[in-house]
């Protein structure tokens, strides 16, 4: 009996000691500890398998809670247009994200995952979200404080769906408008792009003054991780061909394409996304010198570096033809997290082999995992892993729509106003007997939002989005007695026979994204030119160009009375009417040079052959007026 009692006492003591060990084991979960000590503690307990899992970001279509648990996945994502259900509610998004999170938390160490999405002009994949102007339009505003407010609004709407990571901002410096991503660039001017990095504290929060340079900062559950992209030189490829080669010396790379990264890092950006493109023939996804040598070691960036979507697959041609080589090259270059939507098991197997055979040192794996975990601890996801349903109310709220409307009117650039300065056409009279609205883009929300809206390549029509078309905005603004006639494709005889006081023609590009937008001729798509001739050849007219870049317009400028570059304004078309009718002044300035002919391209401000139709920074002004006007 005594022996049994001694055994019981020994077992009790052992249990107590084990409890102490358990308490020590949970050190990384203690928010009172420093982030560095939490990271150290957690990394010391991780297996190679768990570390490699943290380095993966997989697509939601190929993911499940069980799969996240089985492979210790660090992050899940939506590719362009990837949604849990058609017109999914914020709650549906949250339930999906939380389900993946349950899988992550049920692993041995319970490391939470985060979810990433392209929120590049508002939360643009989500039904009922506010869609802001694309970056080229925001560049025309010259208003970094406005862009910061847009970042804050976007962060709230992203968090409203339970998502913690936005692949924004694109800080490319577009040097050739033939590039299909030019609208994702704020400007051809590096200084203007630098100024617009103010969106980062909008998305993430204002970095405290005492935080060392290069350290990521996320200010809580109403903010999101941002991603400065695409590192580096993506806007300088030959002939503007997407994912192609940027041929430029190091000094010019540093002078044109790198400056906005300095600002982004100093503002605490959490992640940097690598470009598909090459620099002088070297794929950026393999560029150890620029990723590890310059970004991490020289600029002291302490966040994590993420690949682009299937970025390492595209190291080889054809893509994915030597995946083991691509994994080794990408990891060795210094990429920490890999957007590997569906080949994640192959990635795990290849990287495990490469580490075990000492082709990749464990120190490189630990560097990647430490950076990812550091960001996770900073963002507070260990303490608050699940989405907050109370934020659902922020999706598409009126306050954000008013902000988008403000951005639209500040982004409008007036290129011509009247056949002479002494006889301006704008502001238009609100009171007129009968006016004509024409053109393919006048009543099409999808067209006015452009690519990266609901679907990757954008869409046509008014059914997939909440917002105000330009036609609706015009009807909302004119005098109730003014008859507004809308005809998408009127012929000249129709215009002539109706005696319109004036016509408004809204034409431009159809939506596109990435390489699908590469365009070597940059003409206004048919029937746009015909509409300009049919309307402006008969009556006083305003032409509004909806586009992601300057287009060939010189042949028509003479017959146009007033010309407006409206870019891709997004969901709040009322902002266009605000300036047309003088409720607000035109103040926008060209964020990029408007060429005469594509034969001049590439042509940017400062070039020796600079001979534009409208120069960089050009934009006529008007004065706001009150009340209604008579024609």
Q: What is the pLDDT of residue 24?
A: 55
**CA 233, CA 249: separation in Å to the nearest integer?**
11
Residue that has been written with the tokens 């704008």 in this structure = 426
Structure tokens at 162: 């339970």
Q: How many CB atoms lie within 10 A of CB 303?
A: 28
Nearest C-alpha neighbor of 325 from the set 362, 290, 367, 286: 286
Longest alpha-carbon distance in the chain: 114
CA atoms lying within 13 Å on the CB side of residue 302:
17
Concatenate the DSSP letters of all residues of 525-589 into one string: PTTHHHHHHHHHTTS-EEEEEE-SS--B-HHHHTT-SEEEEEE---SBTHHHHHHHTTSS-----
Concatenate the DSSP letters of all residues of 241-292 into one string: -TT-EE---HHHIIIIISHHHHHHHHTT--EEEEPSSEETTEEGGG-HIIII
**CA 42, CA 61: separation in Å to the nearest integer?**
29
Instruction: Enter the CATH code of domain 412-600.
Output: 3.40.50.1700
Q: What is the pLDDT of residue 11?
A: 47
Domain ranges in the chain with CATH number 3.40.50.1700 = 412-600
CB 544 within 8 A of CB 503: no
DSSP state of 212: P
Structure tokens at 521: 């001729």
Q: What is the mean pLDDT of each run of 10 residues along the chain (631 residues)?
A: 46 46 71 97 98 98 98 98 97 98 98 98 98 99 99 98 98 98 98 98 96 93 98 98 98 98 98 98 98 98 98 98 98 98 97 98 98 98 96 98 98 97 96 98 98 98 97 98 98 97 98 98 98 98 98 97 98 98 98 98 97 98 72 43
3-state helix, strand, coil in the chain (%, to 5): 40, 15, 45
Q: From the candidates 308, 336, 350, 572, which is the catalytic residue? A: 308
Annotated active-site residue 143? The verdict is no
Q: In what order do the strands lie in the sheet with 56-59?
A: 165-166, 114-117, 75-77, 56-59, 338-339
**CA 512, CA 374: separation in Å to the nearest integer?**
36
Number of residues that make up the chain: 631
Residue that has been written with the tokens 């020289």 in this structure = 298
**CA 428, CA 576: separation in Å to the nearest integer?**
12
Inter-CA distances, 438 with 382, 435, 443, 479, 602, Å? 54, 10, 9, 19, 32
Which pairs with CB-CB distance under 8 Å and at least 24 residues apart come from 353-362? 353/324, 354/324, 354/327, 354/328, 355/48, 356/48, 359/328, 360/328, 360/331, 360/332, 362/48
Q: From the candidates 336, 514, 561, 572, which is the catalytic residue? A: 514
Convert the pLDDT of each residue in 91-104 to its tens digit: 999 999 999 999 99
Structure tokens at 580: 């047309």
Concatenate the DSSP letters of all residues of 82-150 into one string: --SSTT--HHHHHHHHHHHHHHHHTSSS-PPPEEEE--SSBSTTSTT--BPPPHHHHHHHT-HHHHHHH
Domain ranges in the chain with CATH number 3.20.20.300 = 27-394
Mention every residue, 6+ apart, whose C-beta is less than 8 A from residue 613.
553, 554, 557, 594, 595, 596
Q: How many CB atoms lie within 10 A of CB 534?
A: 23
DSSP state of 232: T
58 three-state secondary structure: strand
Q: What is the pLDDT of residue 10?
A: 46
Convert the pLDDT of each residue in 405-445 to its tens digit: 999 999 999 999 999 989 999 999 999 999 999 999 999 99
Annotated active-site residue 22? The verdict is no
- Give the fold, CATH level 3, of 27-394: TIM Barrel (3.20.20)
């Amino acid at each position: 009996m005594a022996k049994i009692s001694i055994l019981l006492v020994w077992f009790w003591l052992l249990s107590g000691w084990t409890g102490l060990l358990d308490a020590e084991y949970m050190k990384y979960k203690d928010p009172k500890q420093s982030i560095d000590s939490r990271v150290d503690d957690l990394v010391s307990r991780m297996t190679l398998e768990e570390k490699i899992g943290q380095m993966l970001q997989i697509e939601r279509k190929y993911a499940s809670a069980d799969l996240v648990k089985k492979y210790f996945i660090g992050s899940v994502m939506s590719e362009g247009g990837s949604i849990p259900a058609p017109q999914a509610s914020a709650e549906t998004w949250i339930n999906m994200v939380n389900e993946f999170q349950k899988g992550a938390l049920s692993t041995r160490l319970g490391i939470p995952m985060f979810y990433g999405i392209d929120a590049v002009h508002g939360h643009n994949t989500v039904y009922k979200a506010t869609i802001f102007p694309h970056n080229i339009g925001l560049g025309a505003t010259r208003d970094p404080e406005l862009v910061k407010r847009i970042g804050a609004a976007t962060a709230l709407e992203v968090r409203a769906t339970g998502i913690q990571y936005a692949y924004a901002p694109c800080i490319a410096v577009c040097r050739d408008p033939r590039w299909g991503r030019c609208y994702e660039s704020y400007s051809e001017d590096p200084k203007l792009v630098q100024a617009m990095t103010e969106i980062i504290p909008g998305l993430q929060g204002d970095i405290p003054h005492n935080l060392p340079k290069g350290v990521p900062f996320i200010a809580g559950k109403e903010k999101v991780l941002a991603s400065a992209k695409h590192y580096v030189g993506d806007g300088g490829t030959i002939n503007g061909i997407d994912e192609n080669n940027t041929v430029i010396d190091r000094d010019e790379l540093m002078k044109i394409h790198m400056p906005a990264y300095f600002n982004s890092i100093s503002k605490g950006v959490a992640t940097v996304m690598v470009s598909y493109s090459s620099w002088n023939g070297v794929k950026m996804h393999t560029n150890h010198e620029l990723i590890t040598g310059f970004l991490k070691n020289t600029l002291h960036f302490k966040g994590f570096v993420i690949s682009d979507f299937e970025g390492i697959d595209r190291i080889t041609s054809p893509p994915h033809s030597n995946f083991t080589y691509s994994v080794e090259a990408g990891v060795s270059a210094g990429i920490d997290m890999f957007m590997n939507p569906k080949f994640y098991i192959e990635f795990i197997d290849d990287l495990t082999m490469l580490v075990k055979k000492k082709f990749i040192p464990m120190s490189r794996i630990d560097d990647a995992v430490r950076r990812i975990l550091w960001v996770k601890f900073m963002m507070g996801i260990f303490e608050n892993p699940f989405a907050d349903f109370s934020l659902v109310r922020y999706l598409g709220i009126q306050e954000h729509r008013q902000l988008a409307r403000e951005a639209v009117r500040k982004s409008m650039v007036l290129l011509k106003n009247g056949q002479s300065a002494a006889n301006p056409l704008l502001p238009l009279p609100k009171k007129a007997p009968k006016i004509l609205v024409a053109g393919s883009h006048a009543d099409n929300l999808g067209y006015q939002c452009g690519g990266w809206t609901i679907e990757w390549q954008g869409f046509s029509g008014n059914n997939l989005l909440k917002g105000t078309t330009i036609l609706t905005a015009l009807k909302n603004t004119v005098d109730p007695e003014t008859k507004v006639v809308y005809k998408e494709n009127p012929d000249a005889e129709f215009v002539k026979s109706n005696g319109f006081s004036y016509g408004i023609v809204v034409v431009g590009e159809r939506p596109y994204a990435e390489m699908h937008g590469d365009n070597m001729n940059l003409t206004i798509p048919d029937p746009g030119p015909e509409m300009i001739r049919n309307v402006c050849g008969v009556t006083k007219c305003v032409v509004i160009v909806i586009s992601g870049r300057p287009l060939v317009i010189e042949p028509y400028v003479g017959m146009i009375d007033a010309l407006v570059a409206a870019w891709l304004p997004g969901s709040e078309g009322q902002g266009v009417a605000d300036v047309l009718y003088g409720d607000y002044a035109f103040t926008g300035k060209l964020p990029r040079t408007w060429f005469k002919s594509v034969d001049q391209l590439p042509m940017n401000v400062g070039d020796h052959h600079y001979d534009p139709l409208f120069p960089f920074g050009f934009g006529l002004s008007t004065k706001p007026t009150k009340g209604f006007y008579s024609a």
